[in-house]
Structure 1
Amino acid sequence: MIDTASERRALAGRLVQAGVLTTPAWRAAVESVPRELFLNPGVFLQEEGRWRPVTAVGSDPEKWVKIAYTLDTLTTQLDGHLTADQVSEPVAGLPTSSSTTPALVVGMIESLDVETGHQVLEIGTGTGYSAAVMCHRLGEDNVTTVEVDPEVAARADAALEAAGFSTWTVTGDGLLGHPRRAPYDRVIATCAVRRIPHTWIRQTKPGGIIVATVGTWANGSGLAKVTVNGDGTAEGQIIGRASFMQARSQAAVPVSGDLSARTAYADSDRETKVSPLMLDEWMPAFLAQLAAPGAQYVRAATSEGAQLLYLFDPERESFAEFTPNGDGWRVRQGGPVALWDNVEQALTAWQAAGSPDITAVRLHITAGCHTYWIGGLQITTRASSHWIGDESALRWRHRLTGP
């Protein structure tokens, strides 16, 4: 086995240089936890649209260590079951578990503002690396980590044991938290959620902090940091961009099939006020998810190569189809929810407010809704996507159901 102490120190140095690792205690954790232990049996590297398996066994040790200490996110599972040791040639597939870039994971851990003795609940164990880093800082008995996939949980538990941490590794739905070990001082989620479940708030002590990625689009999610209040509410802000795999039970099924059939019957057809290409940008994409919860952004092309863009909301049986129209775009909308009307209103209000960055977004959470706002313009949306607005604040409200 290669001694990776120098690689760990180099990784910590790169994270310090990037500005995400600022605390001596967390630096000591990064320098102590061997990331390679948490990548068994192997990883998938993307090459030309496919995934090439690379395993620790059979790989050149120096090349394997170089992979292990990259700042890249490393995919460890495809399609909910396939691991790198099960195939020998590049394969197609959808990533379902990974070792997220240390730059994001360590930055989130720093954002928790932990103190000695704090109890932390982690949602989404994954490989177990982030749990190990927290165990080094806080002690193994102060970290509880929940993973929904039994096989992923078993591999993470074995890796944690190999690293010397017999922590609380739980197999279950992380959206429900883990009440048996509650209350917690801190909660961190290494998967994306549509909203912060109120179960996490109920299981967090007043004054406790929750850090989680909210959003369903990989290119438009926000890293939320909220403080729990004594009355069961929480409030805070979006502190940056983040991209994680969706929580398994909330993962959207990709829209497929004959898209022309899905958009055959429209209720309206008009020119857009803003370009739908804005949805390729992070902040507009984040706003679109607030304005049209459940919608998916889909790119396609005609047989002649013409570009087509869509918004689909399968749950509400609604769509918006965009086609180029000279220097602009036309939108056809169908179904009970005018998806683009809602998104467009949010985007134009945001532009009128000076197009602030995602870190300007504030949020307030109750048992019944999430409210987001920027500065002082107001727009409110409920689950039906009905807009109510005045001129005092830019605001979105989601009526919520479930835990």
Structure 2
Amino acid sequence: MTSLDPARLRRTLADHLEESGVLETPAWRKAVEDVPRELFLPSFFKDWPDPDGTTRYTPVSRDADRDEWLSLAYRNETWVTQIDGRITADATNGPVTGFPTSSSTMPSTVVGMLESLDVDHGMSVLEIGTGTGYSTGLLCHRLGEDNVTSVEVDPAVSERADQSLEAAGYSTWTVTGDGLLGHPRRAPYDRTIATCAVRRIPYTWIRQTEPGGIILATVGPSAWSYGTGLAKLTVKDDGTATGRIIGRTSFMPARAEAAVPFSGDLSARTAYADIERRTSLSPDVLNDWMPAFLAQLAAPGAQLVRAVSDSRETVYLFDTGREAFAALTADGDGDGDEWTVRQGGPVAIWDAIESALTVWQDAGEPDLSTVRLEVSPEAHTYWIGEKPALRWKHQHQPLSR
């Protein structure tokens, strides 16, 4: 028997979110106080890094230590709920390693996005990525279960979320399918929100959202876990959507867009270069959020890989779609002041990134909130200010199946 009171934990969480400025409206506070997050987290993993850098995931469940389980469930933390697309905490006896493929996002991020969605009573919402169902439950509490449609690509994840929603008292529209396609059967929607990261806003979402409606989603390539931005767009009567990046956020990529990690001999992949030169722009700049975001606009599709051989680091950028690469190695004693860059393929990846970052630096390094975007039936366009060098147009690509 637990000595902790879930209702009190919910009020404490709501207090924390309100004091931090995330929770702003009484209706969403009531949702946080009423929707039991523990029902959506019957078991999950807490992570622990080993000295060798490996992350191990230890299962936590209500059947093991109820006080620990309940206390952690109401922390403002993201909890991994699935590893490698199949391993769940309820079926695990001890620590495991692997790649997280589903999670319950930290409440501050969830609630912050819901506040930014600008919903009103009676609106209909399409949610892409049901996950555990907690954010779906909050939406149901705020808008009514008949006004919420949630799409989840993983059948097992979808089934568990549906069971949790039923246990919480919400018989909403949960759909198993590819969220990149939306759910046209119940369209149009007043609001569309994604709890996964997408490379670009699918035009299907714009078609399924009412003119004047809002789309809220994390944009950025699937190969990077940072350098992404929360895009807020308004759908217009002419079939386009315009908006801006309103802040940093990080989500797991949509399954259909998840990149396969590089393996094997990376040096062999970059053995034949078309261009070799020096650069004073260190690839370490890509460790920062805004430069990483801009790099992805300048070289869409590029994956970043770091490798160390004989105490010497090489930074690789691969664009497998266009069979292009850039490999950067520090010159001299490795102090990072000068680098040699080797590039191959039909596009010069580092040239494009270097040009964008140089113009951005000369412009005073404007932050992420200065990025504007427009989505049309033909393309995505991003821009900062009026400089042509800080404008990128990306043609839509067909969804791969």
Same fold (TM > 0.5): yes
The answer to whether the Cα contact below 8 Å between 1:226 and 1:237 also exists between their aligned partners in 2 is yes
Per-residue CA deviation, residues 112-170 of structure 1 (Å, 9 max, x unaligned), is: 00000000000000000000001000000010000000000000000000000000000
The answer to whether the Cα contact below 8 Å between 1:44 and 1:76 also exists between their aligned partners in 2 is no
Letter in 2 for 1:364: E
1:370 maps to 2:375? no
* Candidates 288, 304, 329, aligned match of 1:323: 329
1:283 maps to 2:285? no
Report what 2:370 is aligned to. 360
Report what 2:157 is aligned to. 152
| 2:131 alignment partner, SS class | coil
The answer to whether the Cα contact below 8 Å between 1:53 and 1:85 also exists between their aligned partners in 2 is no
The answer to whether the Cα contact below 8 Å between 2:317 and 2:327 also exists between their aligned partners in 1 is yes
The answer to whether the Cα contact below 8 Å between 2:278 and 2:339 also exists between their aligned partners in 1 is yes
Report what 2:355 is aligned to. 345
Pairs within 5 Å for 1:3-402: 3-48=5-50, 49-216=54-221, 217-302=224-309, 304-326=310-332, 327-379=337-389, 394-402=390-398
1:74 and 1:136 map into 2 onto residues whose CA distance is 22
Shift in Å at residue 27 of structure 1? 0.7
Shift in Å at residue 44 of structure 1? 4.1
- Stretch of structure 1 that moved more, 233-242 or 13-22: 13-22
Letter in 2 for 1:278: V
Shift in Å at residue 374 of structure 1? 0.7
The answer to whether the Cα contact below 8 Å between 1:211 and 1:226 also exists between their aligned partners in 2 is yes
Q: Alpha carbons of 1:47 and 1:277: their partners in 2 closer, same or farther (altered >3 Å)?
A: closer
1:118 and 1:293 map into 2 onto residues whose CA distance is 35
Letter in 2 for 1:368: E
Per-residue CA deviation, residues 62-98 of structure 1 (Å, 9 max, x unaligned), is: 1111111111210000101110122222111000000
2:346 and 2:105 map into 1 onto residues whose CA distance is 38
Per-residue CA deviation, residues 356-386 of structure 1 (Å, 9 max, x unaligned), is: 110110001101111111112113xxxxxxx
Letter in 1 for 2:377: A
Letter in 2 for 1:27: R
Letter in 1 for 2:378: G
| 2:366 alignment partner, SS class | coil
Gaps of 5+ in 2: none
The answer to whether the Cα contact below 8 Å between 1:290 and 1:396 also exists between their aligned partners in 2 is yes
1:374 and 1:262 map into 2 onto residues whose CA distance is 34
1:235 and 1:113 map into 2 onto residues whose CA distance is 16
| 2:232 alignment partner, SS class | strand
The answer to whether the Cα contact below 8 Å between 1:318 and 1:333 also exists between their aligned partners in 2 is yes
Question: Runs (4+) of structure 1 moved beyond 3 Å?
Answer: none
Letter in 1 for 2:366: P
Q: If the length of structure 1 is used for normalisation, what is the TM-score?
A: 0.94
2:165 and 2:45 map into 1 onto residues whose CA distance is 18
Letter in 2 for 1:324: A
The answer to whether the Cα contact below 8 Å between 1:128 and 1:159 also exists between their aligned partners in 2 is yes
The answer to whether the Cα contact below 8 Å between 2:59 and 2:94 also exists between their aligned partners in 1 is no
The answer to whether the Cα contact below 8 Å between 1:50 and 1:90 also exists between their aligned partners in 2 is no
Gaps of 5+ in 1: 380-393
The answer to whether the Cα contact below 8 Å between 2:302 and 2:318 also exists between their aligned partners in 1 is yes
The answer to whether the Cα contact below 8 Å between 1:273 and 1:344 also exists between their aligned partners in 2 is no
Per-residue CA deviation, residues 240-261 of structure 1 (Å, 9 max, x unaligned), is: 0010000000011111110110
| 2:260 alignment partner, SS class | coil
Per-residue CA deviation, residues 187-217 of structure 1 (Å, 9 max, x unaligned), is: 0000000000000000000000000000022
Per-residue CA deviation, residues 26-46 of structure 1 (Å, 9 max, x unaligned), is: 011011111111112333423
Letter in 2 for 1:337: V
1:239 and 1:261 map into 2 onto residues whose CA distance is 41
